[in-house]
A and B are shown apart, each in its own frame.
Chain A
Amino acid sequence: MTTVEAKTHKVAHHFDSADQEKAASKLGIWLFLCTEILMFGGLFVGYALYKRMYPDIFLQGSTFLDWKLGALNTVVLLVSSLTMALSIYYAQKGKNSKSTTCLWITLLCGFIFMGVKYIEYSHKLHLGLAPGDFFSYTETTTLKGLPLYFSFYYCMTGLHGSHVLAGMVLIFWLIIRSHKKHFGPSYYTPLECVGLFWHLVDLIWIYLFPLLYLVE
C-alpha cells in the first residue's frame, strides 16, 4: 500500500493557520451536535412524561414492534460507527484507498438501516398502525390511547431516520472527495466533522432502541 499525500488544502483567508481552522471547525460541529441533542431532547422529555402518565399504552404499543429488527439496526449502526472512525484512522495514516473503502461500508450500513426501517414502517402501515388521524387499527383489546405511542414512535424514528439520510448524503460527498484524494494526514477535517455527526446519530439510536422496542 503506497502512502498518498493529500492534495494541499488551502486555508481560508481569515485564518492564520491550518490548526486554527481545524480547531474552529471542530468547535463549530460540537456546538451543532449540542443543538441536535436539545432538539431530539424535546422528544425524549415528552416520551418520558407520557410514559409515566400512560404506562399501559406504551407497554402495549411496544408489543407491535419486532425487537429483533431493532437489535439488527443497532448492530448495523454500531458497525457503521466503527468503519466511520476507521476511515479517519486510515486517512491519518495516509492510506487513502482503505479510508475510502471504510466510507463505502459506512454508506452501505446506512442503506441497510434504512431498508430495515422501510420493512418495519410498511408492515405497521399495512396493519393500520399509522400516525395520528390515519390510525385505523381496530382490535377489541386495543387501548384507546394507542395512537399516542405511535405518535412518539413515528416522530422519534422519523426524525432519527431523516438524520441518517442526511448523514448518508454527507458520507457520499466524502466518498467523492476521498476518490479525488482530498484527504490525508495533513487534512481530514471534513471526515472528522461528518464522523462526529454520524456518531451522534448512532448515539441517539442507542437510547431509542430500548425506549421504543424493549418497554417493560
Chain B
Amino acid sequence: MSSSNHIVPLNIYIKVLSALLVLTVLTVAVAQMDFGVFNVLIAMGIATVKATLVLLFFMHLKYDNKLFLVIFLTGVFFLIVLFLFCEFDIITRIPENSVL
C-alpha cells in the first residue's frame, strides 16, 4: 500500500485538534442542560464524532488501507453484540429483589 506513506498537511492536524477542543467544551456545556432521555444519546453522539475525527485523521484511517477500518469496526460490532444480548436478557428477566 503506497498510500500508507501519505503525508497529512499540517493545517489539517491543527483544524482537527481545534474541532476536538470545541467539541469537548460542547460536551461539558450540554451536560449542564437537561434533555431527558436524550442526555446519554447526545453525550455519546458527541463522543463518537470526536472518536471519528481521531480515527480518520490522527490515526490516518481516511488515507490508509481500508482493511484497518474493517478490523476496527469488527471489534466494535462484536462489542455491540455482547451488549445487546446481555441487555435483552436483563430487561426480559423476571424481576427479582435486588439487595440494593
Contact = CB atoms under 8 A, between A and B. Distances in A.
Interface of A: 19, 22-23, 26-27, 30-31, 33-35, 37-38, 41-42, 44-45, 48-49, 52-54, 57, 67, 71, 74-75, 78-79, 81-82, 84-86, 89, 92-93, 143-145, 148, 195-196, 199-200, 202-203, 206-207, 209-211, 214, 216
B47 A79 contact: no
Given A30-B72, A199-B58, A214-B28, 4 more contacts: A30-B68, A34-B72, A74-B24, A92-B7
Interface of B: 1-2, 4-5, 7-8, 10, 13-14, 16-17, 20-21, 24, 27-28, 31, 34, 39-40, 43-44, 46-47, 50-51, 54-55, 57-59, 64-65, 67-68, 71-72, 74-76, 78-79, 82-83, 86-87, 90, 98, 100
A39 to B, nearest CB: 10
A200 B98 CA distance: 36
Contacts of B17: 78-79, 81-82
Contacts, number: 131
B79 A41 contact: yes
B1 to A, nearest CB: 6
A206 B50 contact: yes
Contacts of A48: 83, 87
B47 A26 contact: no
B52 to A, nearest CB: 10
